[in-house]
Structure 1
Amino acid sequence: MEVLEARNLSVSLVGVDVLRHISFTLRRGRVLGLVGESGAGKSMLGRVIARDLPTAFKVRSGALTFQGHDLVTIAGEKHRELLGDSIAFIPQEPLTALNPVLTIGQQFDEHLGRLGVPQADRRTRMITALGNVLLHDPVTLLDRYSFQISGGMCQRVLIAMAFASEPALIVADEPTTALDVSTQAHIVQIMRKMQRDHGTALLFITHDLRLAAHVCDDILVLYAGDIVERGPARTLTAMARHPYTLALQAANPPLDGPAHRLATLPEQMPGIGAFTTLPGCRFAPRCPVADEECGRAVPPLREIAPHHFVRCSGACLTQGAKASAPEPLPVATTTPGVPVLVLKDVAKHYPGERDWLGRRRPGTDAVKAINLTVRAGEFVGIVGESGSGKSTVAKLIMGLEPITAGRIAIDGNDVSVNDSAARQVRLGTLQMVFQDPQSALNPRRPVGRLITQSLEAARSTASEADRVMRARALLAETGLSADLLQRFPSQLSGGQKQRVNIARALCVTPRLLVADEIVSGLDVSVQAQILNLLLDLRRDRGIGLVFISHDLSVVRYLCSRVLVMQHGAVVEQGDAEAVLGRPQHPYTQSLIAAVPPEDPDRPWPCNSP
C-alpha cells in the first residue's frame, strides 16, 4: 500500500526551482532514505509535508500524496488533523524540540490530549510508550525535565511520542546526527523495532550514506534540489555510479582496511542564488567528468539496473565509476625532547549539592587519574560515549577547570595551579578549536578581525596592516580565499566557519591544538576537508593535536595513538591501529561494534532486536 507518493514535485523561490521534479513512492512498512549534504533539499521535503515552507517558498508544480490526500492542496483543517496523528515527526535536535520548562510527563500528556486520548488513560499510555523505547524507570522519567536527561534519552522520548498515535508515516530528520556511536546504534534499533511492530512507513533524512545503507530499504541521493541517484539501498551503495554519490563514499574514512588520504570535492554546494546560472546539472561545476552536455540541460534519470536510476550524461556513466589511485597518508613523525603536554594522575571531582538538611550528596568523579603524554607533531585521540569525561579532560588541559589531583606540565612547566604564570604558558603554547563554530565566532566581527583575535589577548603591538597581512596568510594556510576577510560568520558555510575557527587557533603559532568534536555533525565532504587540513598543518608546522571525538573512523584516520574513556577512566590505550583493529577491553569492542560497517550486507547493529 502506497503511503506517500511524490509526482514531479517542484518547490520554487521567486521563480527559481529549489526542488526540481522530485518523484518517489514510499509504501507501508518501508524505509526511504533521503541522503545529501546541507543545502541538498532533504529537509525541504519534510517541510512540504508539514506545510512549513519558509516565507516566499511555494510548491510550483506536481503533487505530494499521503494515503490519497494531496498534501499540497488539501484543506488546512484536514491537514492539521493528519499531523501528529497519521503523520509524525522526529526532529534532529531533541533538546531544542522539548520544552525545558515542562516535565516530560507534561509534554507527553499534552501530546496525547491533542490525539484525543482520555485523561484517565494517558499516564498508562505514557509509561507503556516510554518502556517500548527501552527507557529505564519511565515512571520517574515523567517527572524529569529535558535538561536533566541525556541527549539520547531525549531522542527516545521523541520517538515514543511519534509512535504514540501509531502513525502511518514518520519523518525522521537527522535523528542520530552528533550522537555517539553507541547511542546512535540504540536509537536505530529502537526506530527499527517500532517501525516493524507498527508497520509504519519511515522517511529517514540523513547526510550519512553508510548509515542509510543499513537503515533504509531504498535511497534517494539529492544534490542542490535534484535527485541524482536512486535505488535499493544495498544496490546503490554497492554499485554507486553518480560522481556525487561516489564522492560521498570516498569522503568517509573507513574503520578498517588500508588508510589513504580522503578525496575531497572542490568548492561547495551552490546556493539558491547560483541556481539561475545552472540550467543543466547543478553538480557539473564540481564534477570531475562533466562535459558540455551536462551544463546545457538537466540529464534524464537513466535506469542502469533494475530499479537503480542515475541522473547522468554518457560521460558520467562511462567515467564516473573510475576511481583515481588513492594518495597514501603521510607518515607521522614526532619531535624528540620535552613533551608539549604531560598529564600525570590527573583527576577531577565535582562535589555533590547539599540537600535541605545541609547534607552533602555524593559527588561525581568526572576524570579518574588519567595519564597522557603528547609530543610535538603527535596526534592523540580520546574517544568514548557522551559523559565519559572526554570534554572534561579538554577543559583541564586548557585551564578552564581546576584539577582536583595530579599534575599538568606544558613544555616542562608545571601548570597544575592555574595562576597568571600558568595562563601565560598556556596562551603561548595551546589553542582550542571548539565544536560549534557558529557559537564560537562573534557574529558582529568580520573574519579578518576574528582570526587575529588572539593578538588582542596576547596584548600584541601589531599594527592594523600587520593584522591584515597575518589574516591573509592564515586564510591561505587554511584553504580559504582572502575575499572572506570582510565577511561575517552569517555569510559563511559550516565548513568555512570551522576553517575560520582553526585559523584563529593558529594565529599565535601554538605547538598544540585541543580539538573537541570539531567535525561532529558536519557533512562528510566538509569533514574530509577539515581532516586533511589538520594533516597538512602537522606536516607544515609540526603541530601536536589532542583530538576528542566519538567517531572512531575519524580518530583512526587522524591519530597515531588513542585513549578510550569510560566513566572518567581510561580503559584502553595504545597505537590507534592496534586499539581499533584488535580491541581488548569489552567497552572498546562494544564501541567498534556500534559503528555501521562499510559492507551493507553485514548485520548492524549487532544485537539488533
Structure 2
Amino acid sequence: MTAPGSATQPRKSGPLTPGELAQAAVMAALCAATAIIAVVVPFAAGLSMLGTVPMGLLAYRYRMRVLLAATVAGATIAFLIAGLGGFMTVVNCAYIGGLTGIVKRRGRGTPTVLAAAVVAGALFGMVLVGAMTVLSRLRILAFESMTANIEGLAVAMARVPVLRDFADPLKHGFATLLDYWPVLILGSGIFSICFVSLVGWWALSRVLTRLAGVPDVHKLDTPGGTGTVAPVPARLADVRFRYPGVDHDALGPVSMDLQPGEHVAVTGPNGSGKTTLMLVLAGREPTAGTVEREGVVGLGRIGGTAVIMQHPESQVLGTRVADDVVWGLPPGTTTDVDRLLTEVGLDGLADRDTGGLSGGELQRLAVAGALAREPALLIADEVTSMVDQNGRDTLMTVLSGLTRHHEMSLVHITHYDAEASSADRAINLGGTTENTDMVQTAAVPAGTVPGHEAGAPVLELTAVGHEYASGTPWAKTALRDVTFTVNEGDGLLVHGLNGSGKSTLAWIMAGLTVPTYGACLLDGAPVSGQVGAVAMSFQAARLQLMRSSVEREIASSAGFAVDDQARVAATLATVGLDPGLAKRRIDQLSGGQMRRVVLAGLLGRAPRALILDEPLAGLDAASQRGLLRLLEDLRRDTGLTVVVISHDFSGLEGLCPRTLHLRDGELAMAPTAAGGAR
C-alpha cells in the first residue's frame, strides 16, 4: 500500500498526542512568561499582546483541545506567580489568539470575528450582570468608585471654559445610566470585547499570514491510520520529492528495498536528499513514485517508526532521564527503564536532571526513548555529528548492535566512512561519481604551549574561571584558571570532550558571558564591553539565520541596506557563494551553504577575531574541504584571527597550527583521555 500523506488539518478527535502536548506546553510557557512580565514590570502592560501570538499559532495549527490545555497550564502558572492579573492576561490572550487562529484557519474574515465577538461580549456582559446582582456590596462599591471618577472628571472639566457646559450633563447622565446598570454593563461588555477582538484580529492575522508562507518542510506528522502498524518491509519505486515553492526535486528518483532486521547506511553530499529520504521513510507522501508497505508507518507508536534527530535537545522533553524515556507512551505501557538505560550506556542516571547531560549523553537518551517504543524501524539522522570522538564511538557501539538485539531495521544517515562501514550495506544518494568521498577521522592533535605567537595580542585570558548558578545549591564549575593569548592572525584549535567547558570558553571570548573571576581582554579592554567585535558562529547554523532570504540575512548581519546589491554580492563572493543565491530563501539552502551565509554576515562587520563552534559538523567531505580552504585563505590574506572548537580534526592543521586541550574546565597539555562521552 502507498504511505499516507501528511495531514493539512488538525486531528478531529482522540486524546492529545505527545506532539500536541509538547506544543501546548511550550506555547503555554511563552504566554505565561509574557503575562507575568506584563503584570510585574511597571508600564509593561502592552507586552501582554505578545502572548496572543503563541496562542494564535496553536489555534491556527491544532485543534481546540490543544489550545484549552495550553490555556489551563499557562493561566495556572501565571496565577501562581503574578496572581489574578496574570491569570486574566493569559485567558485574554487565549481568547484573542484562539479566535484569530480558528477564523484564519477556516478561511473566514472580519465579519466572522465581529459576529463571534458580539456573542462573546454578550456572554461576558451577562456574567458580569449576574455577578453584580448576587454580589450587591461589590456592585455598590464599584458604582461608588465609578461615580467618584466621573465627578472628579466633571470638576476638572468645569475649570476649562470650553468644557464647562458639559460638566453637569456628564454627572447627571452617568447617574441616569446607573439606574439602568444592567444595560450599561451588558453594553460595555459587548463593546470592550468587540474592540479587543477586532484589534487583535487586525494585528495577529497579519502575523499568521506571514507565518503561513513559511513552509514547514520538515514536518513529520502523519495521520493516525487504523491499519496494522508495519513500516517494514518497505519498497520505494522511483520516489521523488519536491518541497513547496521550489523548482527542482530535493530527492530522487530513488528505488530501494528495506527489509526487517537490516542495518542500512545512507550517505551522500549535502543537499543530496538524505534527510528528505528520512522524511519519506517516516511517512511523508512523495511527490512522485510509490512507497509500498504492509501496514502504516506508525510514527512514534509502539512497534512503528522512531526517529532520532541530529540535535538531541529538540527531542528531550522530560526533566528527569527516566521521565524522558517514557514520555508519550500510551497509559499502562510497561517499560523496563533501567534495562534500556543500561543498554545505551546511561545506567545509574535514571534520576539525573536532563539539563545537566552532555551532548553524547543526550543522544544516548534519545536512543533509549526510541527503543522504549519497540520500533520496527529506527531512523538515525546524523546523530554523531555534534558528539566528541569518544561519544561517537559509544553511540556507534549502541547503534550497530540494535539490529542484533532487537527485531528492528536501522537506517543510519551519516557522512563518516567508519560509521557507514559498520552497516550491512550503504546507499549513496550522490547520483554521480563526483563528491562521493566520506569524512575521515583523524587523531587528536598534540597540544601546544598556550603562549605568544608572532603578532600583537588580540584576546588575552588571565586566570579565567566560570561557575553556573553561582551561590546556589545547583552551582556547577565550567572553567578553572584558564590562561592563554590569541594573537593577530593566529589560528587556534580548542579540543575537549563534551562537557569540558569549550562552549563556555567560546561565549566568554565573544563577550557574551562575563567570567565569574579572571579577565578576558580584547585589545587590552574587557571583551564583554565590546560585544560584536569578536564574531561567533554557533554549532547549529540554521538557528543563527534570522531573516527570510539570503540577502536580508547578510545585510542585517553586516549592517548595510538590503538594497545595496553590490555589497551583498561582494560579501557572498568573500565566502565563495554565487551572488545568484541572494534571492534564495534560507530554508532552501544546504547545510554547507547555511554555514557560509552565517560566515559572510559575520565577516561583513570586519571582526577583530572569529570564533567557530563545531564548523564542520554535518558537512560532507567536499564541503568541509571547501570551508577550511576558504578560512585558510582569509587567515593568510587578511590576517583574520580564528579560534575553532571542533571534534573533527582532519584538515585543520593548515587553519589551526596551535591546539589547546580542555579537560574538566582546565587546560591540559595532552589530548583528553579516552573514555565515554562525558
Q: Is the TM value for this pair above 0.5?
A: yes
- Note the C-alpha offset of 1:379: 0.5
Counterpart for residue 316 of structure 1: none
What's the secondary structure of 1:558's corresponding residue? coil
Quickly say closer, same or farther: Cα 1:346–1:106, change in 2 above 3 A: closer
**Percent identical across equivalent pairs?**
28
Counterpart for residue 235 of structure 1: none
* Cα RMSD for the two superposed structures: 3.7
CA–CA separation in structure 1 for the residues paired with 2:521 and 2:500: 23
Counterpart for residue 540 of structure 2: 436
Quickly say closer, same or farther: Cα 1:521–1:23, change in 2 above 3 A: closer
- Note the C-alpha offset of 1:533: 0.7
Quickly say closer, same or farther: Cα 1:546–1:200, change in 2 above 3 A: same
Counterpart for residue 380 of structure 1: 492
CA–CA separation in structure 2 for the residues paired with 1:140 and 1:43: 33
Q: Which has the higher strand share?
A: 1
> Which segments of 5 or more consecutive residues in structure 1 lack a partner in the other structure?
229-241, 259-333, 355-360, 457-462, 573-583, 595-609
- 8 Å CA contact retained: 1:433, 1:514: yes
CA–CA separation in structure 2 for the residues paired with 1:255 and 1:366: 27
* 1:544 equivalent in alignment to 2:655: no
- 8 Å CA contact retained: 1:451, 1:500: no
- Note the C-alpha offset of 1:135: 1.1
Q: How many residues align?
A: 437
- 8 Å CA contact retained: 1:8, 1:21: yes
CA–CA separation in structure 1 for the residues paired with 2:651 and 2:440: 6
Counterpart for residue 434 of structure 2: 243
CA–CA separation in structure 2 for the residues paired with 1:257 and 1:83: 41
Counterpart for residue 415 of structure 1: 526
* 1:182 equivalent in alignment to 2:390: yes
Quickly say closer, same or farther: Cα 1:154–1:410, change in 2 above 3 A: closer
Q: Which has the higher helix share?
A: 2
- Note the C-alpha offset of 1:80: 3.8
- 8 Å CA contact retained: 1:50, 1:83: no
- Note the C-alpha offset of 1:558: 2.6
What's the secondary structure of 2:482's corresponding residue? strand
- Note the C-alpha offset of 1:588: 4.3
- Note the C-alpha offset of 1:444: 4.9
TM-score, normalising length: structure 2: 0.57
Counterpart for residue 586 of structure 2: 489
**1:126 aligned to which of 337, 344, 364:** 337
CA–CA separation in structure 2 for the residues paired with 1:491 and 1:27: 34
Counterpart for residue 366 of structure 1: 478
- 8 Å CA contact retained: 1:517, 1:549: yes
Quickly say closer, same or farther: Cα 1:175–1:500, change in 2 above 3 A: closer
- Note the C-alpha offset of 1:140: 1.5
| Structure with higher RCO (Cα < 8 A, 6+ apart) | 1
- 8 Å CA contact retained: 2:325, 2:337: yes
Counterpart for residue 97 of structure 1: 315
Cα deviations by residue, 1:283-312 (Å, 9 ceiling, x for unpaired) = xxxxxxxxxxxxxxxxxxxxxxxxxxxxxx
**1:203 aligned to which of 408, 411, 423:** 411
* 1:20 equivalent in alignment to 2:253: yes
Counterpart for residue 6 of structure 1: 235
- 8 Å CA contact retained: 2:241, 2:287: yes
- 8 Å CA contact retained: 2:299, 2:306: no
What's the secondary structure of 1:243's corresponding residue? coil
Quickly say closer, same or farther: Cα 1:166–1:378, change in 2 above 3 A: same
Cα deviations by residue, 1:487-525 (Å, 9 ceiling, x for unpaired) = 553454433332222222222433421222233223333
Quickly say closer, same or farther: Cα 1:20–1:351, change in 2 above 3 A: closer
What's the secondary structure of 1:196's corresponding residue? helix
Q: 2:395 is aligned with what amino acid?
A: I
Counterpart for residue 302 of structure 2: 84
Structural mapping, 1:91-490, within 5 Å = 91-99=309-317, 104-106=321-323, 108-109=325-326, 112-113=329-330, 118=332, 122=334, 125-141=336-352, 144=353, 146-164=354-372, 166-198=374-406, 200-213=408-421, 215-223=422-430, 242-245=433-436, 248-249=437-438, 252=439, 255=442, 336-352=454-470, 354=472, 361=473, 363-411=475-523, 413-415=524-526, 418-419=528-529, 423=530, 430-444=534-548, 447=551, 450-451=554-555, 453-455=557-559, 468-490=565-587
- Note the C-alpha offset of 1:370: 1.2
- 8 Å CA contact retained: 2:557, 2:602: no
What's the secondary structure of 2:361's corresponding residue? helix
CA–CA separation in structure 2 for the residues paired with 1:445 and 1:16: 18
Comparing 444-453 with 342-351, greater Cα deviation is found at 444-453
What's the secondary structure of 2:403's corresponding residue? helix
- Note the C-alpha offset of 1:34: 1.1
Cα deviations by residue, 1:67-88 (Å, 9 ceiling, x for unpaired) = xx2xxxx4x5xx5499531554
**2:263 aligned to which of 21, 25, 31:** 31
Counterpart for residue 173 of structure 2: none
What's the secondary structure of 2:571's corresponding residue? helix
> Which segments of 5 or more consecutive residues in structure 2 lack a partner in the other structure?
1-230, 446-451
Quickly say closer, same or farther: Cα 1:158–1:253, change in 2 above 3 A: closer
Counterpart for residue 568 of structure 1: 665
What's the secondary structure of 1:220's corresponding residue? strand
Quickly say closer, same or farther: Cα 1:162–1:471, change in 2 above 3 A: closer
- Note the C-alpha offset of 1:534: 0.2
TM-score, normalising length: structure 1: 0.63
